[in-house]
Structures are given as structure tokens and as C-alpha cells.
Copies of this chain bind each other. A is one copy, B any other.
């Protein structure tokens, strides 16, 4: 019994201009028949930069598809479409398209290049895909990407709301680990200390300089990526997903118009940090002040009723995840916070 082993991306580039170098990377890795799966409706310059890079190296795509619907069925269709000899899959775009592309590559056993054009959540380097399977959203295990390529210039051009979403998903590591420790104390559930420490430790570099420029986006990308590695270490999303994710998942199921994952998760993390007590509340609040995260929420406030309903539903969730919501009845507390916490003023209607 020696050390353990964890899957990590073989190749990582996080820098301005990386998108235009995808073809170069593909050439270096001797990819001859890549498939390109991209979000529908990406800005022209992005797709042009990608295509030109491949063309310059004389590499033609064996398959090229736009992806909208993050479902298992779509992934299965794409798997069937992959031509024989296709030797790599490039996923370019937002979280939904990447979840599909990553899953298709995993099914095909092909090396996967994860190329997010915004940093709205930590899925781009996680060993699982969130896909609808027969009507229900599931977190399905899949292989780690072979490569992660983040063009920080492109990401800084993405709408600010996507960046806020990334901020929310990032800070949720703090409450996720708090819930994990609670599950240990209350239920004896084993905590993987390395995964827990890794998941939260990288958050602080971003907090120390929470800007939206290339430098801070590199830090954010690294932290989100390492969160994915932490999940791979312990074989579950525990280090990155606690009560705040249960609430967000419940909103996805019941809300009339769900918002970006990280917006929901961020506000829910703030709420659950207050339920837990302790110093994280101040840390989160300050980060949300510094990044003007609250403005993003207030621009399009959440529904108070939907959130209370979601909190209730999350508390009764049948999944195996024990959190503060399973520990005690929190709905009344959440209601009081929504109604009276000055920081949340304007965030709910």
C-alpha cells in the first residue's frame, strides 16, 4: 500500500491568446482527426480564432457540431456520429456545452480538450458531467480532461454576470467543506483531508485580488481547476458541493426561470455560511462587496417564495449528502435572513 494516485489534466494553459493556439497544441500532440463541439451562438471572433488556428496547422475537423442541450441523449447521439479514427474531442464554450463534450470524449475514450470561454463554474475540469438523463439532472462520472486551455482574454470579455457566477461557485467551496465537516461530526462520514484542504486553500489567492483582469482570471481558473482535482481525489463532489448546491439544484428543478448556477450557489453559500456561523460569512460578504456580486443579483432579483420552497425541498432531499439542512430545520432562519439581512436587500422580490 503506497501513495494514492489521482487523475490530473496532462496539459494546462491559462493565458491570454490561448484560444488561437489550440491548433498549435493539437499539432504538437499529433491530433489528426479532432472533433469540435462548441456552444451554440458563440461570438464569431471566438470560433474564427479556433478554426484559423487549426487551419494554419492543416488540421481538419472530423466532426463539428453545436451543442445546446446538456443531456445524456445528446451525448449519445454525438457518440454515434463520431467518425472512426476520431482521435480527440475539443469542447469550446460555456458550461453546458462543455459538460456534453467532456462526456462524449469520455464515452469515446478520446482525449478531451476543455476550453471554457467563461469561468462561470468549476465543471470544466471536474471528473463528472451534469446531464439530464430521462428527465432528471444527474452528476455522471467521467474522465478528467486531457487538457485544460483557458484564454483569459476571452474570459474577461465574457459578460460580467458569468464572472459573478464563477465567483459564486468558487466561494461555495468554503461552505461545502463546512458541511462535510459537519457530516463527519454528526454522522461519522469520512472527510478526505487532502481534498478538503486543497479545495479551499486556492480560493484565498483570488480573494486577495478579486479583479476581472487576465491575472485574476488566471487565479480564478486555477482555483476552479484545483477544485476539480479535489473532487477526483476523493471520488465525489463533496469538497465543492454542500447545502448551497442542494438549494441551487432544487431551484433548477422548481424555479420558473433558473439563473446561472454560480449566482444561485453564491447567494445560497452566503445563507448557509450564516446557518453554520463562524468566520466565513464575513469573508463571503467582503468578496461579494469587492466584486459587486450583489449588483449582479439585484439587477434581476430572485423570488423569495421560490427560495423558501427550494430550501424546504433541499432539506428533504433523498440523496446521501448530509448538510446543515439535514442537520436541523433551517427554513425559518433562511426566511428571516432573506427578510432582514441588510446585505440581501434588493436581492429577493
- Taking Cβ atoms with an 8 Å cutoff, the residues of A that contact B are 1-10, 12-14, 29, 72, 76-77, 79-80, 84-85, 107-109, 111, 133-134, 136, 138, 140-141, 143-146, 192-194, 197-198, 200-205, 207-208, 218-219, 222-223, 225-226, 233, 235, 318-320
Contact = CB atoms under 8 A, between A and B. Distances in A.
A112 to B, nearest CB: 8
Nearest to A203: B205
A325 to B, nearest CB: 17
- Secondary structure of the A contact surface, majority rule: mixed
B12 A197 contact: yes
B3 A5 contact: no
Which of the listed residues A2, A10, A13, A136 has the most CB atoms from chain B within 10 Å of its own CB? A2
A1 B4 CA distance: 12
Contacts of A140: 79, 107
B2 A4 contact: no
Contacts of A8: 3-6, 194, 233
Contacts of A319: 84
B141 A109 contact: yes
A262 B208 CA distance: 24
Nearest to A29: B1
A141 B86 CA distance: 14
Nearest to A128: B109
A226 B198 contact: yes
A5 B7 contact: yes
A77 B85 CA distance: 28
A104 to B, nearest CB: 12
Contacts of A108: 141
Nearest to A218: B197
Contact of A202 (B79, B109, B201): B201
A69 to B, nearest CB: 16
Contacts of A111: 1-2
Contacts of A6: 5-6, 8
Contacts of A1: 10, 29, 111, 146
Given A1-B111, A146-B1, A194-B12, A219 B201 contact: yes
A13 B109 contact: no
Nearest to A73: B76
Contacts of A194: 8-9, 12, 225
